[in-house]
Structure 1
Amino acid sequence: MKVVAEGGRRMRRYALLLAANDSEYVRKVYGGYFEVFVRAFGDGDSDGGEAWDLFRAVDGELPREDEVAGYDGFVISGSPNDAYADDLWILRLCLLIRELVAMRKRLLGICFGHQVICRALGGRVGKARGGWDIGIREVAMADPLPPFRFLDAVRQGLPAPYAKITEIHQDEVWELPVGADLLASSSKTDVEVFCAGDRVLGIQGHPEYTNDILLNLVDRLSSAGSITMAFAEDVKSQLENTEPDREFWLKLCKSFLKTETEEA
Protein backbone atom coordinates (compact mmCIF):
# COMPACT_ATOMS: atom_id res chain seq x y z
CA MET A 1 0.00 0.00 0.00
CA LYS A 2 1.33 3.45 -0.91
CA VAL A 3 1.27 6.06 1.84
CA VAL A 4 0.49 9.51 0.48
CA ALA A 5 1.74 12.71 2.08
CA GLU A 6 0.19 16.15 1.76
CA GLY A 7 0.19 17.43 -1.81
CA GLY A 8 -0.29 13.96 -3.29
CA ARG A 9 3.35 12.87 -2.94
CA ARG A 10 3.98 9.27 -2.02
CA MET A 11 5.47 9.10 1.45
CA ARG A 12 8.93 7.54 1.46
CA ARG A 13 9.64 4.99 4.17
CA TYR A 14 13.03 4.10 5.60
CA ALA A 15 14.18 1.59 8.20
CA LEU A 16 17.17 1.88 10.51
CA LEU A 17 18.62 -1.52 11.39
CA LEU A 18 20.37 -0.62 14.64
CA ALA A 19 23.34 -2.88 15.34
CA ALA A 20 24.31 -1.30 18.68
CA ASN A 21 22.68 -0.57 22.00
CA ASP A 22 22.09 3.08 22.85
CA SER A 23 24.79 4.50 25.09
CA GLU A 24 23.68 6.38 28.18
CA TYR A 25 25.14 9.59 26.73
CA VAL A 26 23.39 9.34 23.35
CA ARG A 27 20.13 8.35 25.00
CA LYS A 28 20.29 11.33 27.37
CA VAL A 29 21.45 13.98 24.87
CA TYR A 30 19.83 12.80 21.61
CA GLY A 31 17.10 10.38 22.65
CA GLY A 32 19.00 7.39 21.22
CA TYR A 33 20.89 6.49 18.04
CA PHE A 34 17.65 6.31 16.07
CA GLU A 35 17.19 10.05 16.58
CA VAL A 36 20.83 10.67 15.62
CA PHE A 37 20.33 8.91 12.29
CA VAL A 38 16.98 10.51 11.52
CA ARG A 39 18.40 13.98 12.24
CA ALA A 40 21.34 13.22 9.96
CA PHE A 41 19.66 11.44 7.03
CA GLY A 42 16.02 12.50 7.29
CA ASP A 43 14.50 15.40 5.40
CA GLY A 44 13.58 17.28 8.54
CA ASP A 45 10.53 18.76 6.82
CA SER A 46 7.18 19.22 8.48
CA ASP A 47 4.87 18.04 5.68
CA GLY A 48 5.11 14.32 6.40
CA GLY A 49 7.08 13.50 3.26
CA GLU A 50 8.90 10.54 4.79
CA ALA A 51 8.76 8.17 7.73
CA TRP A 52 11.47 6.26 9.59
CA ASP A 53 11.13 3.04 11.59
CA LEU A 54 13.55 1.43 14.02
CA PHE A 55 14.50 -2.25 14.11
CA ARG A 56 16.94 -3.24 16.85
CA ALA A 57 18.93 -5.76 14.82
CA VAL A 58 21.39 -6.30 17.68
CA ASP A 59 18.47 -7.70 19.70
CA GLY A 60 17.34 -9.92 16.83
CA GLU A 61 14.64 -7.54 15.63
CA LEU A 62 14.45 -7.38 11.84
CA PRO A 63 11.61 -6.49 9.46
CA ARG A 64 9.37 -9.39 8.54
CA GLU A 65 9.28 -10.63 4.97
CA ASP A 66 5.89 -8.97 4.43
CA GLU A 67 7.22 -5.63 5.75
CA VAL A 68 10.33 -5.33 3.60
CA ALA A 69 8.55 -4.37 0.37
CA GLY A 70 7.03 -1.31 2.03
CA TYR A 71 10.37 0.42 2.53
CA ASP A 72 12.24 2.60 0.05
CA GLY A 73 15.57 2.21 1.80
CA PHE A 74 17.43 0.65 4.71
CA VAL A 75 20.34 1.91 6.82
CA ILE A 76 22.56 -0.43 8.87
CA SER A 77 24.35 1.32 11.73
CA GLY A 78 27.74 0.91 13.32
CA SER A 79 28.30 -1.58 16.13
CA PRO A 80 30.91 -2.65 18.71
CA ASN A 81 30.42 -6.20 17.35
CA ASP A 82 32.56 -7.79 14.64
CA ALA A 83 30.90 -7.99 11.22
CA TYR A 84 32.72 -11.30 10.63
CA ALA A 85 31.38 -12.92 13.83
CA ASP A 86 28.84 -15.73 13.70
CA ASP A 87 26.35 -14.47 16.27
CA LEU A 88 22.85 -15.52 15.23
CA TRP A 89 21.61 -11.96 14.77
CA ILE A 90 24.56 -11.18 12.46
CA LEU A 91 23.93 -14.28 10.35
CA ARG A 92 20.24 -13.37 10.10
CA LEU A 93 21.22 -9.83 9.11
CA CYS A 94 23.43 -11.23 6.33
CA LEU A 95 20.47 -13.19 4.99
CA LEU A 96 18.31 -10.06 5.04
CA ILE A 97 21.01 -8.09 3.21
CA ARG A 98 21.03 -10.62 0.38
CA GLU A 99 17.24 -10.44 0.23
CA LEU A 100 17.28 -6.63 0.07
CA VAL A 101 19.89 -6.64 -2.68
CA ALA A 102 17.88 -9.19 -4.67
CA MET A 103 14.84 -6.92 -4.31
CA ARG A 104 16.90 -3.90 -5.43
CA LYS A 105 16.18 -1.98 -2.26
CA ARG A 106 18.43 0.92 -1.37
CA LEU A 107 20.86 -0.19 1.32
CA LEU A 108 23.28 2.10 3.13
CA GLY A 109 25.85 0.66 5.55
CA ILE A 110 27.77 2.73 8.09
CA CYS A 111 30.96 1.32 9.70
CA PHE A 112 29.80 -2.14 10.88
CA GLY A 113 26.99 -1.83 8.34
CA HIS A 114 29.52 -1.17 5.58
CA GLN A 115 31.50 -4.24 6.64
CA VAL A 116 28.58 -6.63 7.12
CA ILE A 117 27.18 -5.76 3.68
CA CYS A 118 30.55 -6.65 2.16
CA ARG A 119 30.57 -9.94 4.05
CA ALA A 120 27.01 -10.80 3.05
CA LEU A 121 27.77 -10.15 -0.63
CA GLY A 122 30.91 -12.29 -0.67
CA GLY A 123 33.65 -9.85 0.33
CA ARG A 124 36.18 -10.31 3.13
CA VAL A 125 36.25 -8.44 6.44
CA GLY A 126 38.65 -8.63 9.37
CA LYS A 127 40.65 -6.78 11.99
CA ALA A 128 42.22 -3.58 10.69
CA ARG A 129 45.84 -4.29 9.92
CA GLY A 130 46.79 -0.82 11.14
CA GLY A 131 44.89 -1.07 14.43
CA TRP A 132 42.36 1.45 15.73
CA ASP A 133 41.43 4.35 13.48
CA ILE A 134 39.84 7.11 15.57
CA GLY A 135 39.51 10.78 14.74
CA ILE A 136 39.16 12.80 11.55
CA ARG A 137 40.52 11.07 8.44
CA GLU A 138 41.16 12.52 4.97
CA VAL A 139 39.42 10.34 2.39
CA ALA A 140 40.36 10.49 -1.30
CA MET A 141 37.58 9.82 -3.81
CA ALA A 142 38.15 7.58 -6.82
CA ASP A 143 38.65 9.19 -10.21
CA PRO A 144 36.69 8.54 -12.31
CA LEU A 145 33.59 7.65 -10.31
CA PRO A 146 30.92 5.30 -11.67
CA PRO A 147 28.19 7.15 -13.62
CA PHE A 148 25.48 6.78 -10.98
CA ARG A 149 23.16 9.72 -10.37
CA PHE A 150 23.49 9.66 -6.58
CA LEU A 151 27.22 10.39 -7.01
CA ASP A 152 26.43 13.77 -8.54
CA ALA A 153 26.57 15.03 -4.95
CA VAL A 154 30.24 14.02 -4.89
CA ARG A 155 31.09 15.43 -8.30
CA GLN A 156 29.50 18.77 -7.52
CA GLY A 157 30.48 19.23 -3.90
CA LEU A 158 33.81 17.50 -3.17
CA PRO A 159 35.86 19.70 -0.84
CA ALA A 160 38.84 18.64 -3.06
CA PRO A 161 41.03 16.74 -3.30
CA TYR A 162 39.67 14.82 -0.33
CA ALA A 163 36.79 14.86 2.17
CA LYS A 164 37.36 14.55 5.91
CA ILE A 165 35.19 12.11 7.85
CA THR A 166 34.82 10.96 11.46
CA GLU A 167 36.27 7.49 12.06
CA ILE A 168 36.14 5.07 14.97
CA HIS A 169 36.77 1.44 14.07
CA GLN A 170 39.21 -1.43 14.53
CA ASP A 171 37.83 -3.69 11.77
CA GLU A 172 37.90 -3.08 8.02
CA VAL A 173 36.98 -4.47 4.62
CA TRP A 174 39.83 -6.56 3.27
CA GLU A 175 38.30 -7.43 -0.09
CA LEU A 176 35.27 -6.08 -1.92
CA PRO A 177 32.52 -8.36 -3.29
CA VAL A 178 32.76 -9.24 -6.96
CA GLY A 179 31.33 -6.44 -9.08
CA ALA A 180 31.54 -3.76 -6.38
CA ASP A 181 33.23 -0.42 -7.08
CA LEU A 182 35.76 1.24 -4.79
CA LEU A 183 34.68 4.87 -4.33
CA ALA A 184 37.18 6.13 -1.75
CA SER A 185 40.23 5.16 0.27
CA SER A 186 42.57 6.72 2.85
CA SER A 187 46.11 6.31 4.12
CA LYS A 188 44.75 4.15 6.95
CA THR A 189 41.98 2.16 5.26
CA ASP A 190 41.95 0.86 1.68
CA VAL A 191 38.15 0.59 1.43
CA GLU A 192 36.59 3.71 2.90
CA VAL A 193 33.58 3.86 0.57
CA PHE A 194 32.19 1.39 -1.95
CA CYS A 195 29.05 0.78 -3.95
CA ALA A 196 27.55 -2.30 -5.56
CA GLY A 197 25.57 -0.84 -8.42
CA ASP A 198 23.44 2.18 -7.60
CA ARG A 199 21.43 0.54 -4.81
CA VAL A 200 24.14 -0.42 -2.28
CA LEU A 201 26.49 2.05 -0.57
CA GLY A 202 28.96 1.39 2.24
CA ILE A 203 30.84 4.05 4.23
CA GLN A 204 33.49 3.08 6.78
CA GLY A 205 33.35 6.41 8.62
CA HIS A 206 30.49 7.98 10.56
CA PRO A 207 28.72 10.81 8.69
CA GLU A 208 26.03 10.82 11.39
CA TYR A 209 28.38 11.47 14.31
CA THR A 210 28.79 14.87 15.90
CA ASN A 211 32.09 15.65 17.65
CA ASP A 212 30.57 15.26 21.11
CA ILE A 213 29.40 11.71 20.31
CA LEU A 214 32.93 10.81 19.17
CA LEU A 215 34.50 12.38 22.27
CA ASN A 216 32.17 10.43 24.55
CA LEU A 217 33.10 7.19 22.77
CA VAL A 218 36.81 8.02 23.10
CA ASP A 219 36.39 8.59 26.84
CA ARG A 220 34.57 5.28 27.21
CA LEU A 221 37.24 3.38 25.26
CA SER A 222 39.97 5.01 27.30
CA SER A 223 38.24 4.24 30.61
CA ALA A 224 37.80 0.62 29.54
CA GLY A 225 41.48 0.32 28.62
CA SER A 226 40.71 -0.34 24.94
CA ILE A 227 42.90 2.62 23.95
CA THR A 228 45.62 4.42 25.88
CA MET A 229 45.17 7.80 27.55
CA ALA A 230 47.81 9.21 25.17
CA PHE A 231 45.83 7.97 22.16
CA ALA A 232 42.66 9.54 23.56
CA GLU A 233 44.41 12.88 24.16
CA ASP A 234 45.77 12.88 20.61
CA VAL A 235 42.24 12.43 19.25
CA LYS A 236 40.90 15.24 21.42
CA SER A 237 43.72 17.50 20.28
CA GLN A 238 42.97 16.74 16.64
CA LEU A 239 39.29 17.60 17.12
CA GLU A 240 40.28 21.00 18.47
CA ASN A 241 42.07 21.78 15.22
CA THR A 242 40.00 20.18 12.47
CA GLU A 243 36.44 19.21 11.61
CA PRO A 244 34.90 16.59 9.33
CA ASP A 245 33.25 17.68 6.09
CA ARG A 246 29.99 16.53 7.62
CA GLU A 247 27.64 18.39 5.28
CA PHE A 248 29.32 16.79 2.27
CA TRP A 249 28.84 13.28 3.67
CA LEU A 250 25.26 13.92 4.75
CA LYS A 251 24.47 15.23 1.28
CA LEU A 252 25.95 12.07 -0.26
CA CYS A 253 23.92 9.79 2.04
CA LYS A 254 20.69 11.67 1.43
CA SER A 255 21.33 11.71 -2.30
CA PHE A 256 21.86 7.95 -2.26
CA LEU A 257 18.74 7.22 -0.24
CA LYS A 258 16.44 9.58 -2.11
CA THR A 259 17.62 9.85 -5.72
CA GLU A 260 15.17 8.30 -8.13
CA THR A 261 16.55 5.98 -10.77
CA GLU A 262 15.30 5.10 -14.20
CA GLU A 263 14.56 1.57 -13.01
CA ALA A 264 12.53 2.73 -10.00
Structure 2
Amino acid sequence: MGEKRFAVLLCAEDSEYMKNKYGGYFGVFVGMLAEEGETWDAYKVAAGEFPEDDEIEEFDGFVITGSCNDAHGNDIWILKLLNLLKKLVSLKKKVLGICFGHQVLARALGGKIGRAVSGWDIGITTINFSSSSKIFSSLQLPALSVIECHQDEVYELPPKAEVIAWSDKTGIEMYRYGDHIMGIQGHPEYTKDILSHLIDRLIQRNLIKDTYGKEVRTQVEACEPDNEAWKRLCTSFLKGGL
Protein backbone atom coordinates (compact mmCIF):
# COMPACT_ATOMS: atom_id res chain seq x y z
CA MET A 1 0.00 0.00 0.00
CA GLY A 2 1.29 3.44 -0.91
CA GLU A 3 4.36 2.19 -2.77
CA LYS A 4 5.45 4.68 -5.39
CA ARG A 5 6.07 3.47 -8.93
CA PHE A 6 8.09 5.16 -11.66
CA ALA A 7 8.98 4.43 -15.28
CA VAL A 8 12.08 5.29 -17.28
CA LEU A 9 11.38 5.81 -20.98
CA LEU A 10 14.66 4.70 -22.57
CA CYS A 11 15.33 6.61 -25.78
CA ALA A 12 18.81 5.20 -26.55
CA GLU A 13 20.46 1.83 -27.01
CA ASP A 14 22.97 0.88 -24.33
CA SER A 15 26.56 0.30 -25.38
CA GLU A 16 28.30 -2.79 -24.01
CA TYR A 17 30.37 -0.50 -21.78
CA MET A 18 27.25 1.08 -20.26
CA LYS A 19 25.61 -2.31 -19.76
CA ASN A 20 28.63 -3.85 -18.08
CA LYS A 21 29.64 -0.95 -15.84
CA TYR A 22 26.35 0.76 -15.00
CA GLY A 23 23.58 -1.67 -15.84
CA GLY A 24 22.71 0.53 -18.81
CA TYR A 25 21.09 3.95 -18.67
CA PHE A 26 18.23 2.47 -16.66
CA GLY A 27 20.77 1.53 -13.99
CA VAL A 28 22.20 5.06 -14.05
CA PHE A 29 18.79 6.67 -13.47
CA VAL A 30 17.74 4.18 -10.82
CA GLY A 31 21.05 4.78 -9.04
CA MET A 32 20.37 8.50 -9.04
CA LEU A 33 16.65 8.65 -8.28
CA ALA A 34 15.38 5.45 -6.67
CA GLU A 35 14.70 5.19 -2.95
CA GLU A 36 13.71 2.32 -0.70
CA GLY A 37 10.15 1.10 -1.12
CA GLU A 38 9.77 2.24 -4.73
CA THR A 39 9.31 0.26 -7.94
CA TRP A 40 11.13 1.35 -11.10
CA ASP A 41 10.30 -0.06 -14.53
CA ALA A 42 11.96 0.46 -17.92
CA TYR A 43 10.36 0.85 -21.34
CA LYS A 44 12.67 0.74 -24.36
CA VAL A 45 10.64 3.24 -26.34
CA ALA A 46 13.37 3.65 -28.99
CA ALA A 47 12.85 -0.06 -29.72
CA GLY A 48 9.06 0.34 -29.83
CA GLU A 49 8.31 -0.75 -26.26
CA PHE A 50 5.64 1.48 -24.69
CA PRO A 51 3.39 1.23 -21.63
CA GLU A 52 -0.20 0.26 -22.33
CA ASP A 53 -2.92 2.80 -21.54
CA ASP A 54 -4.07 0.87 -18.47
CA GLU A 55 -0.48 0.73 -17.17
CA ILE A 56 0.01 4.50 -17.30
CA GLU A 57 -2.33 5.10 -14.38
CA GLU A 58 -0.21 2.85 -12.16
CA PHE A 59 2.80 5.17 -12.30
CA ASP A 60 3.50 8.20 -10.12
CA GLY A 61 6.08 9.63 -12.49
CA PHE A 62 8.07 9.19 -15.69
CA VAL A 63 11.63 10.01 -16.73
CA ILE A 64 12.58 10.50 -20.40
CA THR A 65 16.25 9.83 -21.15
CA GLY A 66 18.75 11.24 -23.60
CA SER A 67 19.18 9.82 -27.10
CA CYS A 68 21.43 9.94 -30.15
CA ASN A 69 18.28 10.59 -32.22
CA ASP A 70 16.91 14.04 -33.05
CA ALA A 71 13.91 15.05 -30.95
CA HIS A 72 12.74 17.07 -33.97
CA GLY A 73 12.78 13.94 -36.14
CA ASN A 74 9.74 11.98 -37.28
CA ASP A 75 10.79 8.40 -36.61
CA ILE A 76 7.76 6.24 -35.86
CA TRP A 77 8.80 5.68 -32.26
CA ILE A 78 9.33 9.44 -31.72
CA LEU A 79 5.85 10.21 -33.03
CA LYS A 80 4.43 7.51 -30.76
CA LEU A 81 6.40 8.98 -27.84
CA LEU A 82 4.95 12.42 -28.56
CA ASN A 83 1.44 10.96 -28.33
CA LEU A 84 2.29 9.28 -25.03
CA LEU A 85 3.74 12.49 -23.60
CA LYS A 86 0.66 14.49 -24.58
CA LYS A 87 -1.40 11.91 -22.72
CA LEU A 88 0.83 12.15 -19.63
CA VAL A 89 0.59 15.94 -19.69
CA SER A 90 -3.21 15.80 -19.85
CA LEU A 91 -3.28 13.30 -16.97
CA LYS A 92 -0.98 15.62 -14.96
CA LYS A 93 1.53 12.84 -14.39
CA LYS A 94 4.95 13.93 -13.13
CA VAL A 95 7.33 13.90 -16.11
CA LEU A 96 11.05 14.71 -16.02
CA GLY A 97 12.77 15.10 -19.40
CA ILE A 98 16.57 14.92 -19.69
CA CYS A 99 18.44 16.24 -22.78
CA PHE A 100 16.57 14.56 -25.69
CA GLY A 101 13.76 14.07 -23.17
CA HIS A 102 13.80 17.81 -22.38
CA GLN A 103 13.53 18.59 -26.09
CA VAL A 104 10.89 16.04 -27.10
CA LEU A 105 8.79 17.01 -24.07
CA ALA A 106 8.93 20.66 -25.15
CA ARG A 107 7.83 19.55 -28.63
CA ALA A 108 4.90 17.62 -27.16
CA LEU A 109 3.84 20.76 -25.27
CA GLY A 110 3.82 22.75 -28.51
CA GLY A 111 7.28 24.33 -28.29
CA LYS A 112 9.88 24.68 -31.03
CA ILE A 113 13.11 22.66 -31.11
CA GLY A 114 16.00 22.03 -33.51
CA ARG A 115 19.76 22.17 -34.03
CA ALA A 116 21.53 24.39 -31.53
CA VAL A 117 22.51 27.71 -33.11
CA SER A 118 25.94 27.58 -31.43
CA GLY A 119 26.65 23.92 -32.29
CA TRP A 120 27.69 21.10 -29.97
CA ASP A 121 27.76 21.75 -26.23
CA ILE A 122 29.87 19.09 -24.52
CA GLY A 123 31.53 19.42 -21.13
CA ILE A 124 30.63 20.84 -17.73
CA THR A 125 28.47 23.96 -17.94
CA THR A 126 27.32 26.40 -15.28
CA ILE A 127 23.61 27.06 -15.54
CA ASN A 128 21.95 30.03 -13.88
CA PHE A 129 18.52 29.92 -12.31
CA SER A 130 16.13 32.64 -13.34
CA SER A 131 15.74 35.34 -10.70
CA SER A 132 12.07 35.65 -11.67
CA SER A 133 11.36 32.01 -10.83
CA LYS A 134 9.91 31.42 -7.37
CA ILE A 135 10.23 27.67 -7.71
CA PHE A 136 13.82 27.38 -6.56
CA SER A 137 13.95 30.32 -4.15
CA SER A 138 13.58 27.98 -1.18
CA LEU A 139 16.47 25.86 -2.44
CA GLN A 140 18.76 28.91 -2.74
CA LEU A 141 20.37 27.74 -5.99
CA PRO A 142 21.67 30.71 -7.99
CA ALA A 143 23.73 28.40 -10.22
CA LEU A 144 24.76 24.75 -10.62
CA SER A 145 27.30 22.96 -12.81
CA VAL A 146 26.01 20.12 -14.97
CA ILE A 147 27.44 17.78 -17.60
CA GLU A 148 26.19 18.62 -21.11
CA CYS A 149 26.33 16.60 -24.33
CA HIS A 150 23.94 17.85 -27.02
CA GLN A 151 23.74 19.46 -30.44
CA ASP A 152 20.02 20.30 -30.35
CA GLU A 153 18.09 22.70 -28.14
CA VAL A 154 14.67 24.13 -27.31
CA TYR A 155 14.13 27.35 -29.26
CA GLU A 156 10.78 28.36 -27.86
CA LEU A 157 8.28 27.18 -25.24
CA PRO A 158 4.48 27.52 -25.19
CA PRO A 159 3.14 30.54 -23.23
CA LYS A 160 2.21 28.50 -20.15
CA ALA A 161 5.74 27.13 -19.71
CA GLU A 162 8.32 28.93 -17.58
CA VAL A 163 12.05 29.09 -18.33
CA ILE A 164 13.77 28.50 -15.00
CA ALA A 165 17.44 28.22 -16.00
CA TRP A 166 19.79 29.38 -18.76
CA SER A 167 23.50 29.27 -19.63
CA ASP A 168 25.84 31.36 -21.73
CA LYS A 169 25.37 28.92 -24.62
CA THR A 170 21.77 27.77 -24.22
CA GLY A 171 18.83 30.06 -23.51
CA ILE A 172 16.49 27.32 -22.23
CA GLU A 173 18.48 25.01 -19.96
CA MET A 174 15.46 24.18 -17.79
CA TYR A 175 11.73 24.80 -17.85
CA ARG A 176 8.60 23.99 -15.91
CA TYR A 177 5.05 23.51 -17.16
CA GLY A 178 2.59 23.56 -14.30
CA ASP A 179 3.83 21.64 -11.29
CA HIS A 180 4.08 18.29 -13.08
CA ILE A 181 6.43 18.82 -16.06
CA MET A 182 10.13 19.69 -15.95
CA GLY A 183 12.84 19.61 -18.60
CA ILE A 184 16.62 19.70 -18.06
CA GLN A 185 18.92 20.13 -21.06
CA GLY A 186 21.99 18.87 -19.21
CA HIS A 187 22.71 15.41 -17.82
CA PRO A 188 22.46 15.40 -14.01
CA GLU A 189 22.70 11.59 -14.13
CA TYR A 190 26.08 11.48 -15.93
CA THR A 191 29.48 10.95 -14.37
CA LYS A 192 32.67 12.25 -15.94
CA ASP A 193 33.45 8.64 -16.87
CA ILE A 194 30.18 8.33 -18.83
CA LEU A 195 30.92 11.60 -20.62
CA SER A 196 34.42 10.38 -21.53
CA HIS A 197 32.89 7.20 -22.98
CA LEU A 198 30.42 9.26 -25.05
CA ILE A 199 33.20 11.50 -26.36
CA ASP A 200 34.99 8.36 -27.60
CA ARG A 201 31.82 7.21 -29.38
CA LEU A 202 31.18 10.61 -30.96
CA ILE A 203 34.75 10.73 -32.29
CA GLN A 204 34.48 7.18 -33.65
CA ARG A 205 31.28 8.14 -35.49
CA ASN A 206 32.90 11.30 -36.88
CA LEU A 207 30.28 13.43 -35.17
CA ILE A 208 32.94 15.53 -33.45
CA LYS A 209 36.63 16.05 -34.20
CA ASP A 210 39.35 14.52 -32.05
CA THR A 211 40.74 17.99 -31.33
CA TYR A 212 37.39 19.10 -29.89
CA GLY A 213 37.24 15.91 -27.81
CA LYS A 214 40.65 16.71 -26.33
CA GLU A 215 39.57 20.28 -25.52
CA VAL A 216 36.50 18.96 -23.71
CA ARG A 217 38.50 16.42 -21.70
CA THR A 218 40.89 19.16 -20.55
CA GLN A 219 37.98 21.36 -19.47
CA VAL A 220 36.23 18.52 -17.67
CA GLU A 221 39.36 17.54 -15.73
CA ALA A 222 39.46 20.98 -14.15
CA CYS A 223 35.95 21.03 -12.64
CA GLU A 224 33.20 18.90 -11.10
CA PRO A 225 29.44 18.76 -11.77
CA ASP A 226 27.11 19.41 -8.82
CA ASN A 227 25.64 15.91 -9.02
CA GLU A 228 24.45 15.67 -5.41
CA ALA A 229 22.51 18.92 -5.70
CA TRP A 230 21.00 17.73 -8.98
CA LYS A 231 19.99 14.45 -7.36
CA ARG A 232 18.15 16.32 -4.60
CA LEU A 233 16.50 18.65 -7.10
CA CYS A 234 15.29 15.86 -9.42
CA THR A 235 14.04 13.57 -6.66
CA SER A 236 12.24 16.50 -5.01
CA PHE A 237 10.48 17.32 -8.27
CA LEU A 238 9.48 13.74 -9.09
CA LYS A 239 8.25 12.94 -5.60
CA GLY A 240 6.28 16.06 -4.83
CA GLY A 241 8.66 18.11 -2.68
CA LEU A 242 9.37 20.82 -5.25
When the two structures are superposed, what TM-score results if normalisation uses the length of structure 1? 0.89
Aligned residue in 2 for 1:156:
139
Which residue in 2 is equivalent to 1:89? Answer: 77
How far did 1:223 drift?
A: 2.0
- Quick check: which has more Rg, 1 or 2? 1
Give the drift of 1:219.
1.0
Q: 1:232 aligns with which of 210, 213, 222?
A: 213
What secondary structure does 1:164 align onto?
strand
Per-residue CA deviation, residues 204-236 of structure 1 (Å, 9 max, x unaligned), is 000000110000000111122211111111111
- Distance apart, 1:146 and its partner CA: 3.5
CA shift at 1:106, angstroms? 0.1
- Select which of 1, 12, 22 maps to 2:4: 12
Q: Does 1:70 align with 2:62?
A: no
Pick one of 77, 86, 105 that aligns with 2:93.
Answer: 105
Partner of 2:107: 119
Offset of residue 260 of structure 1: 5.6
Q: Confirm or deny: 8 A CA contact 1:182 1:194 kept in the other structure.
A: yes
SS of residue matched to 1:187: coil
Pairwise CA RMSD of aligned residues? 1.2
Quote the residue 2:14 is aligned against: 22
1:250 shift after superposition: 1.1
- The equivalent residue for 1:179 is 160
* Residue aligned with 2:237, SS: helix
Decide which of 196, 209, 213 is 1:215's aligned counterpart.
196
Q: 1:7 aligns to what?
A: none
Equivalent residue number for residue 191 of structure 1? 172
Q: Which residue of 2 aligns with 1:250?
A: 231
Contact 1:195 1:202 in 2 (8 A): yes
Q: Which runs of 5+ in 2 are unaligned?
A: none
Q: Identity rate of aligned residues, in percent?
A: 48
State TM-score, norm by structure 2: 0.97
Establish whether residue 130 from structure 1 lines up as the match of residue 118 from structure 2. Answer: yes
The answer to whether the 8 A contact 1:123-1:178 is kept is no
Q: How has the CA–CA distance of structure 1 residues 234 and 260 changed in structure 2, closer, same or farther, with 3 Å as cutoff?
A: closer
- Cα distance between partner residues in 2 of 1:71 and 1:179: 25
